[in-house]
């Protein structure tokens, strides 16, 4: 029997104006933005709807902003279409949206937690000390060799396995830059630094994970109504007892997105709907397996297209 997955975007999908149309047209979306403003004690809604872009790009703002826009879109989908999913998944930060959608985390708890998560990740490594880069067209075994050669006593490792031939590395700036040069020397011309403020999903983030563990310990995790495919294991998790452990590990472990999508397909998923700003994940799903139907919902046009 064909199955459906909801997938939720991570950092990098944000843009000024996100969620504005939905909030203007649907009470369900307005309520989510109002709840976020109240939970954070700031006008996060104004930042999502109006920017400025540079404030929206700050990790401590980006993470709650994308989560809130994603859950606002989800509430509209649920109210207007009645669509349901057999699995949830999200890319990095998006895993929190997936857990809210699955009923494991209360939205207000999640939005406060991801704001703290963004702060912890930013503070774990001083600006300029870490970097991330995308290496295109490289196989994981070859990239492991490149990282080993580039390290020279510093950290550099795969951080995001996004799709076949698209892997992101993270670590100390010097080591990441050396990896780019080695990759180019080996013929991988598409190797480039990413415009991010910290080296996410590598061992430099372990202190952020330790701080996050304390924040997560204070919130209630409810039973999951739908399994969530975790970034860390690329396997469905249906146990509330494992949620915190997987989220703590996720901060410093690579995001296994390619394997997560392959797992959904193995579980019988034939349709994925990306809920939240942008179409990054829908694009990655197409690259991983063209036979899977993918849609996205972020505004009125995409909501109408769904019907």
Q: What is the set of active-site residues?
A: 92, 201
CA distance 286 to 293: 8
Residue where the block lists tokens 């989908």: 77
Say how many residues make up the chain.
Answer: 307
DSSP 50-116: H--HHHHTSHHHHHHHHHHHHHHHHHHHHHHT----SEEEESTTHHHHHHHHTTSS-HHHHHHHHHH
- Type and span of the H or E element at 143: helix 140-151
Token pair 């996410």 is found at: 200
Contacts of 248 (CB under 8 A, 6+ apart): 209, 210, 212, 213, 216
């Amino acid at each position: 029997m064909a199955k459906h997955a909801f997938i939720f975007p991570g950092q990098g999908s944000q843009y000024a104006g996100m969620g504005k149309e939905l909030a203007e047209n649907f009470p369900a979306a307005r309520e989510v933005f109002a709840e976020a403003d109240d939970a954070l004690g700031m006008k996060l809604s104004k930042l999502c709807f109006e920017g400025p872009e540079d404030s929206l790009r700050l990790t401590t703002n980006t993470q709650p902003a994308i989560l809130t826009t994603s859950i606002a879109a989800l509430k509209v989908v649920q109210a207007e279409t009645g669509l349901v999913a057999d699995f949830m998944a999200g890319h990095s930060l998006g895993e929190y949206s997936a857990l809210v959608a699955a009923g494991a985390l209360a939205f207000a708890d999640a939005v406060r937690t991801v704001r703290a998560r963004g702060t912890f990740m930013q503070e774990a490594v001083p600006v300029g000390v870490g970097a991330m880069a995308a290496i295109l067209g490289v196989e994981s075994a070859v990239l492991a060799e490149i990282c080993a050669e580039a390290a020279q006593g510093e950290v550099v490792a795969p951080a995001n396995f996004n799709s076949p031939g698209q892997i992101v590395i993270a670590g100390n700036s010097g080591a990441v830059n050396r990896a780019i040069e080695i990759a180019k020397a080996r013929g991988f011309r598409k190797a480039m630094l990413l415009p991010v403020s910290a080296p996410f999903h590598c061992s430099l983030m372990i202190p952020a994970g330790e701080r996050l563990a304390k924040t997560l310990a204070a919130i209630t995790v409810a039973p999951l109504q739908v399994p969530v495919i975790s970034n860390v294991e690329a396997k469905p998790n249906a146990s509330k007892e494992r949620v915190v452990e997987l989220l703590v590990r996720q901060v410093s472990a690579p995001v296994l997105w390619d394997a997560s999508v392959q797992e959904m397909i193995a579980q019988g998923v034939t349709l994925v709907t990306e809920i939240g700003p942008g179409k990054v994940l829908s694009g990655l799903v197409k690259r991983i397996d063209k036979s899977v139907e993918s849609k996205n919902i972020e505004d009125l046009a995409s909501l109408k297209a769904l019907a």
